[in-house]
A and B are shown apart, each in its own frame.
Chain A
Protein backbone atom coordinates (compact mmCIF):
# COMPACT_ATOMS: atom_id res chain seq x y z
CA UNK A 1 0.00 0.00 0.00
CA UNK A 2 1.36 3.40 -0.82
CA UNK A 3 2.06 5.80 1.97
CA UNK A 4 1.16 8.97 0.19
CA UNK A 5 -1.42 11.28 1.67
CA UNK A 6 -4.96 10.70 0.56
CA UNK A 7 -7.03 13.79 0.08
CA UNK A 8 -10.53 12.88 1.09
CA UNK A 9 -13.74 14.58 0.25
CA UNK A 10 -17.26 13.33 0.02
CA UNK A 11 -17.80 15.06 -3.30
CA UNK A 12 -15.06 13.13 -5.04
CA UNK A 13 -15.45 9.81 -3.31
CA UNK A 14 -19.22 9.53 -3.28
CA UNK A 15 -20.02 8.84 -6.95
CA UNK A 16 -17.80 5.77 -7.02
CA UNK A 17 -18.98 4.62 -3.59
CA UNK A 18 -22.61 5.02 -4.56
CA UNK A 19 -22.10 3.10 -7.75
CA UNK A 20 -20.45 0.21 -5.95
CA UNK A 21 -23.22 0.26 -3.37
CA UNK A 22 -25.90 0.24 -5.98
CA UNK A 23 -24.39 -2.45 -8.15
CA UNK A 24 -23.45 -4.73 -5.30
CA UNK A 25 -26.55 -4.05 -3.26
CA UNK A 26 -24.30 -3.67 -0.22
CA UNK A 27 -24.33 -0.79 2.25
CA UNK A 28 -20.61 -0.23 2.61
CA UNK A 29 -21.13 2.77 4.85
CA UNK A 30 -22.36 0.64 7.68
CA UNK A 31 -18.92 -0.94 8.07
CA UNK A 32 -17.41 -0.23 11.48
CA UNK A 33 -14.09 -1.90 10.77
CA UNK A 34 -14.31 -4.87 13.09
CA UNK A 35 -12.24 -6.87 10.59
CA UNK A 36 -14.11 -10.13 11.12
CA UNK A 37 -14.26 -10.42 7.33
CA UNK A 38 -10.51 -10.19 7.05
CA UNK A 39 -10.00 -12.85 9.68
CA UNK A 40 -12.46 -15.21 8.03
CA UNK A 41 -11.44 -14.76 4.41
CA UNK A 42 -10.09 -18.08 3.09
CA UNK A 43 -8.00 -16.31 0.47
CA UNK A 44 -6.92 -13.51 2.81
CA UNK A 45 -3.30 -14.61 2.76
CA UNK A 46 -3.16 -14.72 -1.01
CA UNK A 47 -5.27 -11.69 -1.82
CA UNK A 48 -3.05 -8.99 -0.19
CA UNK A 49 -6.08 -6.77 0.31
CA UNK A 50 -8.68 -8.20 2.70
CA UNK A 51 -12.40 -7.33 2.49
CA UNK A 52 -12.23 -4.75 5.29
CA UNK A 53 -9.51 -2.82 3.51
CA UNK A 54 -11.22 -3.07 0.18
CA UNK A 55 -14.37 -1.59 1.70
CA UNK A 56 -12.32 1.18 3.26
CA UNK A 57 -10.60 1.93 -0.04
CA UNK A 58 -13.96 2.34 -1.70
CA UNK A 59 -15.32 4.42 1.17
CA UNK A 60 -12.39 6.77 1.02
CA UNK A 61 -12.54 7.06 -2.75
CA UNK A 62 -9.51 5.07 -3.90
CA UNK A 63 -11.22 4.21 -7.14
CA UNK A 64 -8.35 3.03 -9.25
CA UNK A 65 -6.83 0.82 -6.56
CA UNK A 66 -10.25 -0.67 -5.90
CA UNK A 67 -10.82 -1.56 -9.50
CA UNK A 68 -7.45 -3.22 -9.75
CA UNK A 69 -7.42 -5.05 -6.45
CA UNK A 70 -6.38 -8.68 -6.36
CA UNK A 71 -9.02 -9.78 -3.84
CA UNK A 72 -11.85 -9.39 -6.30
CA UNK A 73 -10.15 -11.92 -8.50
CA UNK A 74 -9.01 -14.29 -5.79
CA UNK A 75 -12.44 -14.31 -4.15
CA UNK A 76 -13.96 -17.80 -4.16
CA UNK A 77 -17.44 -16.46 -3.37
CA UNK A 78 -17.74 -18.57 -0.24
CA UNK A 79 -19.76 -15.77 1.42
CA UNK A 80 -18.02 -16.30 4.76
CA UNK A 81 -17.26 -12.61 5.17
CA UNK A 82 -20.79 -11.49 4.53
CA UNK A 83 -22.42 -14.23 6.54
CA UNK A 84 -20.46 -13.22 9.60
CA UNK A 85 -20.53 -9.49 8.97
CA UNK A 86 -22.41 -7.76 11.79
CA UNK A 87 -23.44 -5.12 9.31
CA UNK A 88 -24.47 -7.54 6.59
CA UNK A 89 -21.95 -6.51 3.96
CA UNK A 90 -21.27 -9.22 1.37
CA UNK A 91 -17.86 -8.45 0.01
CA UNK A 92 -18.23 -11.22 -2.54
CA UNK A 93 -20.97 -9.12 -4.12
CA UNK A 94 -18.77 -6.06 -4.01
CA UNK A 95 -16.07 -8.05 -5.76
CA UNK A 96 -18.50 -9.03 -8.49
CA UNK A 97 -19.53 -5.42 -8.94
CA UNK A 98 -15.94 -4.23 -9.05
CA UNK A 99 -14.95 -6.75 -11.68
CA UNK A 100 -17.81 -5.72 -13.86
CA UNK A 101 -16.97 -2.09 -13.37
CA UNK A 102 -13.34 -2.82 -14.19
CA UNK A 103 -14.37 -4.56 -17.35
CA UNK A 104 -16.58 -1.67 -18.35
CA UNK A 105 -13.71 0.69 -17.67
CA UNK A 106 -11.52 -1.51 -19.91
CA UNK A 107 -9.16 -2.33 -17.12
CA UNK A 108 -7.21 -5.50 -17.71
CA UNK A 109 -8.32 -8.39 -15.48
CA UNK A 110 -5.87 -8.93 -12.62
CA UNK A 111 -6.09 -12.69 -13.11
CA UNK A 112 -7.03 -13.20 -16.76
CA UNK A 113 -7.80 -16.89 -16.34
CA UNK A 114 -10.54 -16.16 -13.87
CA UNK A 115 -12.17 -13.82 -16.32
CA UNK A 116 -11.81 -16.36 -19.11
CA UNK A 117 -13.31 -19.10 -17.03
CA UNK A 118 -16.48 -17.32 -16.12
CA UNK A 119 -16.95 -15.71 -19.43
CA UNK A 120 -16.51 -19.08 -21.13
CA UNK A 121 -19.03 -20.62 -18.78
CA UNK A 122 -21.58 -17.97 -19.55
CA UNK A 123 -21.02 -18.32 -23.27
CA UNK A 124 -21.43 -22.04 -23.01
CA UNK A 125 -24.73 -21.60 -21.23
CA UNK A 126 -25.81 -19.09 -23.82
CA UNK A 127 -25.21 -21.65 -26.57
CA UNK A 128 -27.04 -24.60 -25.18
CA UNK A 129 -28.83 -23.46 -22.08
CA UNK A 130 -26.79 -25.94 -20.13
CA UNK A 131 -23.13 -26.27 -19.37
CA UNK A 132 -21.23 -28.99 -21.22
CA UNK A 133 -17.72 -29.73 -20.03
CA UNK A 134 -16.08 -30.29 -23.38
CA UNK A 135 -17.57 -27.32 -25.04
CA UNK A 136 -16.96 -25.20 -22.01
CA UNK A 137 -13.32 -26.24 -21.78
CA UNK A 138 -12.88 -25.41 -25.47
CA UNK A 139 -14.35 -21.99 -24.99
CA UNK A 140 -12.27 -21.47 -21.88
CA UNK A 141 -9.01 -22.22 -23.66
CA UNK A 142 -10.09 -19.96 -26.47
CA UNK A 143 -10.62 -17.16 -23.97
CA UNK A 144 -7.30 -18.01 -22.42
CA UNK A 145 -5.66 -17.78 -25.79
CA UNK A 146 -7.17 -14.35 -26.30
CA UNK A 147 -5.82 -13.25 -22.96
CA UNK A 148 -2.47 -14.96 -22.73
CA UNK A 149 -1.58 -16.52 -26.00
CA UNK A 150 -0.37 -20.03 -26.69
CA UNK A 151 1.69 -20.36 -23.55
CA UNK A 152 -1.26 -19.75 -21.30
CA UNK A 153 -3.22 -22.39 -23.11
CA UNK A 154 -0.41 -24.94 -23.10
CA UNK A 155 0.15 -24.37 -19.44
CA UNK A 156 -3.46 -24.91 -18.65
CA UNK A 157 -3.97 -27.87 -20.91
CA UNK A 158 -1.28 -29.81 -19.11
CA UNK A 159 -3.28 -29.90 -15.92
CA UNK A 160 -6.78 -29.95 -17.32
CA UNK A 161 -6.10 -32.67 -19.86
CA UNK A 162 -4.93 -34.91 -17.08
CA UNK A 163 -8.16 -34.36 -15.24
CA UNK A 164 -10.16 -34.79 -18.41
CA UNK A 165 -8.49 -38.12 -19.02
CA UNK A 166 -9.30 -39.50 -15.62
CA UNK A 167 -12.81 -38.15 -15.92
CA UNK A 168 -13.19 -40.12 -19.07
CA UNK A 169 -11.77 -43.16 -17.39
CA UNK A 170 -14.19 -42.87 -14.50
CA UNK A 171 -17.09 -42.34 -16.88
CA UNK A 172 -17.66 -38.92 -15.44
CA UNK A 173 -17.57 -37.08 -18.74
CA UNK A 174 -20.01 -37.42 -21.60
CA UNK A 175 -19.90 -36.55 -25.26
CA UNK A 176 -23.50 -35.95 -26.14
CA UNK A 177 -24.37 -32.30 -25.74
CA UNK A 178 -27.05 -31.53 -23.18
CA UNK A 179 -29.31 -28.82 -24.50
CA UNK A 180 -32.28 -26.82 -23.36
CA UNK A 181 -35.05 -26.56 -25.88
CA UNK A 182 -36.29 -23.16 -24.78
CA UNK A 183 -33.03 -21.54 -25.82
CA UNK A 184 -34.80 -18.59 -27.35
CA UNK A 185 -36.05 -17.64 -23.94
CA UNK A 186 -32.53 -17.83 -22.62
CA UNK A 187 -31.22 -15.72 -25.47
CA UNK A 188 -33.85 -13.13 -24.64
CA UNK A 189 -32.67 -13.09 -21.04
CA UNK A 190 -29.06 -12.62 -22.19
CA UNK A 191 -30.11 -9.83 -24.45
CA UNK A 192 -32.02 -8.15 -21.67
CA UNK A 193 -29.01 -8.41 -19.45
CA UNK A 194 -26.83 -6.83 -22.11
CA UNK A 195 -29.36 -4.02 -22.53
CA UNK A 196 -29.42 -3.39 -18.81
CA UNK A 197 -25.68 -3.20 -18.64
CA UNK A 198 -25.57 -1.02 -21.70
CA UNK A 199 -27.93 1.47 -20.15
CA UNK A 200 -25.58 1.79 -17.22
CA UNK A 201 -22.47 2.45 -19.18
Chain B
Protein backbone atom coordinates (compact mmCIF):
# COMPACT_ATOMS: atom_id res chain seq x y z
CA UNK B 1 0.00 0.00 0.00
CA UNK B 2 1.39 3.35 -1.01
CA UNK B 3 0.89 6.45 1.05
CA UNK B 4 2.10 9.95 0.31
CA UNK B 5 4.65 11.21 2.83
CA UNK B 6 5.53 14.66 4.05
CA UNK B 7 8.59 14.53 6.34
CA UNK B 8 8.82 18.25 7.06
CA UNK B 9 12.01 20.10 7.91
CA UNK B 10 12.78 18.36 11.18
CA UNK B 11 12.70 14.89 9.79
CA UNK B 12 15.24 16.03 7.29
CA UNK B 13 17.33 17.66 9.95
CA UNK B 14 17.40 17.38 13.70
CA UNK B 15 15.12 14.37 13.76
CA UNK B 16 16.44 12.50 10.81
CA UNK B 17 16.41 9.33 12.88
CA UNK B 18 12.64 9.57 13.03
CA UNK B 19 12.50 9.68 9.24
CA UNK B 20 14.61 6.54 9.04
CA UNK B 21 12.62 4.70 11.69
CA UNK B 22 9.27 5.62 10.20
CA UNK B 23 10.17 4.43 6.76
CA UNK B 24 11.71 1.20 8.06
CA UNK B 25 8.92 0.25 10.41
CA UNK B 26 6.10 1.06 8.04
CA UNK B 27 7.64 -0.86 5.21
CA UNK B 28 7.64 -3.90 7.53
CA UNK B 29 3.89 -3.71 7.80
CA UNK B 30 3.37 -3.20 4.12
CA UNK B 31 3.23 0.55 3.81
CA UNK B 32 5.36 2.24 1.25
CA UNK B 33 5.96 5.91 1.88
CA UNK B 34 6.24 8.07 -1.15
CA UNK B 35 7.78 11.43 -0.23
CA UNK B 36 6.03 14.17 -2.13
CA UNK B 37 8.31 16.09 -4.38
CA UNK B 38 9.69 19.52 -3.76
CA UNK B 39 7.71 20.14 -0.60
CA UNK B 40 8.21 23.30 1.41
CA UNK B 41 8.16 24.20 5.07
CA UNK B 42 4.65 24.28 6.52
CA UNK B 43 5.39 27.52 8.34
CA UNK B 44 5.16 25.86 11.70
CA UNK B 45 4.23 27.87 14.74
CA UNK B 46 5.96 30.92 13.42
CA UNK B 47 3.67 31.39 10.46
CA UNK B 48 0.71 30.96 12.75
CA UNK B 49 2.07 33.60 15.01
CA UNK B 50 3.25 36.00 12.38
CA UNK B 51 1.28 35.63 9.26
CA UNK B 52 -2.25 34.27 8.98
CA UNK B 53 -2.12 34.07 5.25
CA UNK B 54 1.13 32.16 5.01
CA UNK B 55 0.00 29.86 7.80
CA UNK B 56 -2.63 28.59 5.36
CA UNK B 57 -0.81 29.19 2.10
CA UNK B 58 2.47 27.42 2.84
CA UNK B 59 0.86 24.07 3.69
CA UNK B 60 -1.54 24.63 0.80
CA UNK B 61 1.30 24.35 -1.65
CA UNK B 62 2.20 20.97 -0.18
CA UNK B 63 -1.43 19.90 -0.28
CA UNK B 64 -1.58 20.79 -3.95
CA UNK B 65 1.47 18.66 -4.60
CA UNK B 66 -0.02 15.84 -2.56
CA UNK B 67 -3.37 16.00 -4.32
CA UNK B 68 -1.54 15.78 -7.60
CA UNK B 69 0.03 12.44 -6.63
CA UNK B 70 -3.39 10.83 -6.94
CA UNK B 71 -2.79 8.95 -3.69
CA UNK B 72 -5.62 8.81 -1.21
CA UNK B 73 -3.71 9.53 1.99
CA UNK B 74 -0.75 11.57 3.09
CA UNK B 75 1.03 10.85 6.34
CA UNK B 76 2.74 13.62 8.28
CA UNK B 77 4.72 12.35 11.30
CA UNK B 78 5.62 15.77 12.67
CA UNK B 79 2.75 17.03 14.85
CA UNK B 80 3.33 20.64 13.94
CA UNK B 81 3.37 19.97 10.22
CA UNK B 82 0.35 17.71 10.59
CA UNK B 83 -1.58 20.33 12.49
CA UNK B 84 -0.73 23.12 10.06
CA UNK B 85 -1.52 21.03 7.02
CA UNK B 86 -4.80 19.67 8.36
CA UNK B 87 -5.94 23.12 9.46
CA UNK B 88 -5.00 24.53 6.06
CA UNK B 89 -6.97 21.82 4.30
CA UNK B 90 -10.07 22.28 6.48
CA UNK B 91 -9.86 26.07 6.33
CA UNK B 92 -9.75 26.03 2.55
CA UNK B 93 -12.66 23.62 2.51
CA UNK B 94 -14.67 26.17 4.49
CA UNK B 95 -13.36 29.22 2.63
CA UNK B 96 -13.59 28.74 -1.17
CA UNK B 97 -12.58 32.35 -1.77
CA UNK B 98 -9.29 31.97 0.02
CA UNK B 99 -8.79 28.64 -1.73
CA UNK B 100 -9.17 30.25 -5.12
CA UNK B 101 -6.89 33.09 -4.16
CA UNK B 102 -4.12 30.74 -3.08
CA UNK B 103 -4.61 28.39 -5.96
CA UNK B 104 -3.92 31.16 -8.43
CA UNK B 105 -0.37 31.32 -7.08
CA UNK B 106 0.20 27.57 -7.10
CA UNK B 107 1.47 25.36 -9.83
CA UNK B 108 -0.37 22.40 -8.39
CA UNK B 109 -3.77 23.39 -7.15
CA UNK B 110 -5.25 22.32 -3.88
CA UNK B 111 -8.20 20.05 -4.45
CA UNK B 112 -8.69 19.00 -0.86
CA UNK B 113 -9.39 15.36 -1.52
CA UNK B 114 -6.33 13.70 0.04
CA UNK B 115 -6.76 12.44 3.57
CA UNK B 116 -4.24 14.03 5.91
CA UNK B 117 -3.16 11.50 8.54
CA UNK B 118 -0.85 11.64 11.49
CA UNK B 119 1.47 8.77 12.20
CA UNK B 120 -0.73 7.30 14.93
CA UNK B 121 -3.71 6.97 12.63
CA UNK B 122 -1.57 5.08 10.15
CA UNK B 123 -0.01 2.86 12.82
CA UNK B 124 -3.41 2.18 14.33
CA UNK B 125 -4.71 0.98 10.97
CA UNK B 126 -1.86 -1.55 10.99
CA UNK B 127 -2.20 -2.56 14.62
CA UNK B 128 -2.74 -6.23 13.85
CA UNK B 129 0.24 -6.37 11.50
CA UNK B 130 2.43 -4.65 14.08
CA UNK B 131 1.38 -7.21 16.67
CA UNK B 132 2.14 -10.03 14.25
CA UNK B 133 5.59 -8.71 13.42
CA UNK B 134 6.49 -8.06 17.05
CA UNK B 135 8.96 -10.76 17.86
CA UNK B 136 9.93 -9.17 21.15
CA UNK B 137 7.42 -8.15 23.77
CA UNK B 138 8.49 -4.92 25.43
CA UNK B 139 7.85 -6.30 28.92
CA UNK B 140 9.04 -3.99 31.68
CA UNK B 141 8.86 -0.90 29.52
CA UNK B 142 6.61 1.52 31.32
CA UNK B 143 6.23 4.50 29.06
CA UNK B 144 4.42 7.70 29.74
CA UNK B 145 2.89 8.34 26.33
CA UNK B 146 3.36 11.97 25.50
CA UNK B 147 1.17 13.39 22.77
CA UNK B 148 1.93 17.06 23.23
CA UNK B 149 -0.31 19.91 22.18
CA UNK B 150 -0.59 19.68 18.51
CA UNK B 151 -1.86 16.21 17.83
CA UNK B 152 -5.30 16.75 19.30
CA UNK B 153 -5.67 20.49 19.71
CA UNK B 154 -5.93 22.84 16.80
CA UNK B 155 -6.21 26.56 16.27
CA UNK B 156 -9.62 25.97 14.73
CA UNK B 157 -12.08 23.11 14.89
CA UNK B 158 -11.09 20.10 12.81
CA UNK B 159 -12.21 16.51 13.28
CA UNK B 160 -10.05 14.67 15.81
CA UNK B 161 -9.89 10.91 15.66
CA UNK B 162 -8.93 10.32 19.30
CA UNK B 163 -10.24 11.64 22.60
CA UNK B 164 -9.02 15.22 22.51
CA UNK B 165 -8.07 15.42 26.15
CA UNK B 166 -7.26 11.82 26.85
CA UNK B 167 -5.96 10.28 23.63
CA UNK B 168 -5.23 6.59 23.85
CA UNK B 169 -3.94 5.56 20.42
CA UNK B 170 -0.31 5.38 21.45
CA UNK B 171 -1.11 3.29 24.52
CA UNK B 172 -3.15 0.95 22.36
CA UNK B 173 -0.31 0.36 19.95
CA UNK B 174 2.28 -0.03 22.69
CA UNK B 175 0.13 -2.55 24.52
CA UNK B 176 -0.04 -4.75 21.43
CA UNK B 177 3.75 -4.99 21.47
CA UNK B 178 3.84 -5.83 25.15
CA UNK B 179 4.76 -2.51 26.76
CA UNK B 180 2.96 -1.40 29.90
CA UNK B 181 1.96 2.21 29.31
CA UNK B 182 0.78 4.19 32.33
CA UNK B 183 -2.03 6.65 32.62
CA UNK B 184 -0.74 9.99 33.74
CA UNK B 185 -1.78 13.59 33.90
CA UNK B 186 0.29 15.40 31.31
CA UNK B 187 -0.32 13.51 28.08
CA UNK B 188 -1.38 16.53 26.14
CA UNK B 189 0.19 19.34 28.09
CA UNK B 190 2.53 21.68 26.34
CA UNK B 191 6.27 21.08 26.81
CA UNK B 192 7.10 24.57 25.58
CA UNK B 193 9.10 23.46 22.57
CA UNK B 194 8.30 26.60 20.67
CA UNK B 195 9.62 28.71 23.52
CA UNK B 196 12.72 26.71 24.40
CA UNK B 197 15.01 28.92 22.38
CA UNK B 198 13.47 32.33 22.89
CA UNK B 199 11.82 32.03 26.34
CA UNK B 200 13.66 29.20 28.01
CA UNK B 201 12.32 29.82 31.51
CA UNK B 202 8.78 29.23 30.38
CA UNK B 203 9.74 26.08 28.53
CA UNK B 204 11.64 24.70 31.52
CA UNK B 205 8.80 25.15 33.96
CA UNK B 206 6.40 23.37 31.59
CA UNK B 207 8.82 20.49 31.11
CA UNK B 208 9.42 20.15 34.83
CA UNK B 209 5.73 19.44 35.46
CA UNK B 210 5.73 16.77 32.79
CA UNK B 211 8.81 15.08 34.22
CA UNK B 212 7.58 15.16 37.79
CA UNK B 213 4.25 13.52 37.05
CA UNK B 214 5.72 10.83 34.80
CA UNK B 215 8.33 9.94 37.42
CA UNK B 216 5.84 9.96 40.28
CA UNK B 217 3.71 7.48 38.40
CA UNK B 218 6.66 5.16 37.85
CA UNK B 219 7.33 5.70 34.17
CA UNK B 220 10.73 4.57 32.93
CA UNK B 221 10.60 6.41 29.64
CA UNK B 222 8.61 8.81 27.50
CA UNK B 223 7.20 7.87 24.14
CA UNK B 224 6.17 10.49 21.65
CA UNK B 225 5.43 11.04 17.99
CA UNK B 226 6.28 14.72 17.81
CA UNK B 227 9.85 15.58 16.78
CA UNK B 228 9.64 18.98 18.50
CA UNK B 229 8.58 17.45 21.76
CA UNK B 230 11.15 14.70 21.44
CA UNK B 231 13.96 17.15 20.86
CA UNK B 232 12.77 19.44 23.60
CA UNK B 233 12.33 16.79 26.30
CA UNK B 234 15.44 14.99 25.21
CA UNK B 235 17.88 17.84 24.75
CA UNK B 236 16.92 20.08 27.68
CA UNK B 237 16.61 17.32 30.23
CA UNK B 238 19.77 18.33 32.11
CA UNK B 239 18.62 21.92 32.46
CA UNK B 240 15.19 20.90 33.70
CA UNK B 241 16.60 18.43 36.17
CA UNK B 242 19.17 20.89 37.43
CA UNK B 243 16.78 23.75 37.82
CA UNK B 244 13.91 21.78 39.39
CA UNK B 245 15.89 19.18 41.34
CA UNK B 246 14.56 16.16 39.49
CA UNK B 247 16.56 13.12 40.49
CA UNK B 248 16.10 10.91 37.49
CA UNK B 249 16.24 11.37 33.76
CA UNK B 250 14.11 9.46 31.31
CA UNK B 251 14.85 8.38 27.73
CA UNK B 252 12.48 9.92 25.23
CA UNK B 253 11.61 7.48 22.47
CA UNK B 254 9.82 7.91 19.22
CA UNK B 255 7.09 5.32 19.03
CA UNK B 256 8.64 4.11 15.80
CA UNK B 257 11.91 3.05 17.36
CA UNK B 258 10.11 0.98 19.97
CA UNK B 259 8.06 -0.73 17.30
CA UNK B 260 11.30 -1.32 15.44
CA UNK B 261 12.89 -2.87 18.52
CA UNK B 262 9.90 -5.12 18.99
CA UNK B 263 10.32 -6.19 15.41
CA UNK B 264 13.82 -7.28 16.28
CA UNK B 265 15.80 -4.37 14.87
CA UNK B 266 18.94 -3.18 16.61
CA UNK B 267 19.97 0.19 17.99
CA UNK B 268 21.92 1.14 14.94
CA UNK B 269 19.17 0.37 12.49
CA UNK B 270 16.87 2.50 14.56
CA UNK B 271 19.58 5.12 15.27
CA UNK B 272 18.73 4.96 18.96
CA UNK B 273 22.25 6.15 19.76
CA UNK B 274 21.35 9.59 18.46
CA UNK B 275 19.37 10.56 21.55
CA UNK B 276 20.73 13.29 23.81
CA UNK B 277 19.63 11.42 26.89
CA UNK B 278 20.99 7.93 26.93
CA UNK B 279 18.31 5.68 25.50
CA UNK B 280 19.97 2.40 24.65
CA UNK B 281 20.72 1.38 28.24
CA UNK B 282 17.14 0.90 29.34
CA UNK B 283 16.35 -1.29 26.36
CA UNK B 284 19.43 -3.34 27.06
CA UNK B 285 18.51 -3.61 30.72
CA UNK B 286 15.16 -4.98 29.70
CA UNK B 287 16.96 -7.38 27.36
CA UNK B 288 15.29 -5.91 24.33
CA UNK B 289 18.56 -5.15 22.61
Contact = CB atoms under 8 A, between A and B. Distances in A.
Direct A–B contact present (CB less than 8 angstroms): yes
Contact of A180 (B40, B51, B105): B40
Contacts of A42: 189-190, 192, 206
Interface in B7-59: 9, 12-17, 38-41, 43-54, 57-58
Given A118-B50, A166-B235, A189-B102, A173 B13 contact: yes
Interface centre among A78, A119, A181 (most CB of B within 10 A): A78
Contacts of A189: 53-54, 57-58, 61, 102, 105
Interface residues of B, number: 60
Contacts of B156: 25, 90, 93
Contacts of A145: none
Interface string A17-49: 000000101000000000000000011011000
Given A113-B199, A186-B61, A96 B52 contact: yes
Nearest to B91: A25
Contacts of A88: 157
A166 B276 contact: yes
Contact of A119 (B17, B41, B50, B199): B50
B235 A79 contact: no
B279 to A, nearest CB: 11
Interface in B87-110: 101-102, 105-107
B149 interface: yes
A171 interface: yes
B40 A129 contact: yes
Contacts of A146: none
A132 B38 contact: no
Given A99-B49, A111-B199, A93 B276 contact: no
Nearest to A112: B198
B250 to A, nearest CB: 17
List 5 tightest A-B contacts by C-beta distance, closest first: A78-B190, A121-B46, A78-B149, A79-B153, A118-B46
22 contacts: A76-B206, A77-B49, A77-B194, A78-B153, A82-B153, A90-B155, A92-B155, A96-B50, A111-B199, A117-B46, A122-B43, A125-B41, A125-B46, A125-B47, A130-B41, A131-B41, A132-B13, A173-B14, A178-B13, A180-B39, A186-B58, A193-B53
